Amino acid sequence: MPIKQLAGGLLSFFVFFYNYGAHAESVRPVVTYHYAEVNDVKVFYREAGDPAAPSVLLLHGFPTSSFMYRNLMGMLADKYHVIAPDLPGFGYTSAPPRDKYTYSFENLANTIDQFTDKIGLRRYALEVFDYGAPIGWRLATAHPERITAIISQNGNAYVEGLSKEWDPIQKYWSEPSQANRDQLRRILTPDAVKWQYTQGAHSTEVIAPDSYTLDSALLTRPGNVEIQLDLFKDYKNNVAQYPLYQQYFRKFKPPLLAVWGKNDPLFLPAGAQAFKKDIPEAKVVLVDAGHFALESDLPEIGAEIHRFLDATLPPTQ
């Protein structure tokens, strides 16, 4: 083989592998997966972005996990340090037996508070959804100096946000009988979980079945149904604390974006609009979506969140 041809072949070989390496670098996963030990709870969390960038703590709801943020994290990680833990009893975080761990929202918030200390998260914006909201509100009222901004994505803090779908749960609050508890088991069936994802969505064809299938599978773990029923019962304490959370909003007036699916059958748009009573500068965006709006309308919601954070947070911590 002539020297010139050999040199050309070697050059092509090295150019290929240089470009391959650059491409591999560009497509490596932006989200990494970790565990943190918090007392006797092994907390699973997803992390993305530069730890030196402003932090955003994403708190999921029922019946899901940090999996719901899998795509949003990639959208935010270009400029922000994003952390999404699974709550105890959800996702890949451990679910201690009920005689070893109290499944109340106060205790879930305590665990997440200790989790933020464990990983060194000192200041952060909150993104809260569903159950994540009362946990986030507890963090904010306990540590107002840590909260840089709030994104409420169908995360309620007002009684006017509760729909009639809460009636069976509210009946259990007022009459905590075994019969009323058993009536709530239907909310934990695969069909009911799927309904939460698809009801109100502008198209069910954009809802990935991975989401509700994973949620349903994790609900079948031994003891998990009783854990969820305990949390249904305890949710009344969140509603009782709404005035405390509203007082926090009025006093500290954190920058707040409420971006909600306007067709949510569980938390009504009135709950989003109500933030403006206590934070007049709050921005409210209603999307043609249901409860799990991120599953159907990620590009629109992700862009809204990014613009809000860009306008609100400093470029560095």
- 63 cis-preceded (ω within 30 degrees of 0): yes
DSSP for residue 152: E
**Residue 130 · residue 60 · CB < 8 Å:** yes
The CA distance from 303 to 130, in Å, is 20
**Residue 288 · residue 314 · CB < 8 Å:** no
Kindly state the greatest CA–CA separation across the chain. 91
Q: Where are the alpha helices (DSSP H) in the chain?
A: 3-27, 70-76, 105-118, 132-142, 167-174, 178-183, 190-198, 209-219, 224-240, 242-252, 269-273, 275-278, 293-312
Q: Between vectors from CA 226 to CA 220 and to CA 228, what angle results, nearest 5°?
A: 80
Residue holding tokens 């083989």? 1
The dihedrals phi and psi of 116, each to the nearest 5 degrees, come to -65, -35
Identify the active-site residue in 34, 143, 291, 306: 291
Q: Verify whether residue 291 is a known catalytic residue.
A: yes
Q: How far is CA 302 from CA 75, 158, 172, 308, in A?
A: 7, 24, 36, 10
Which residues are the active-site residues? 291
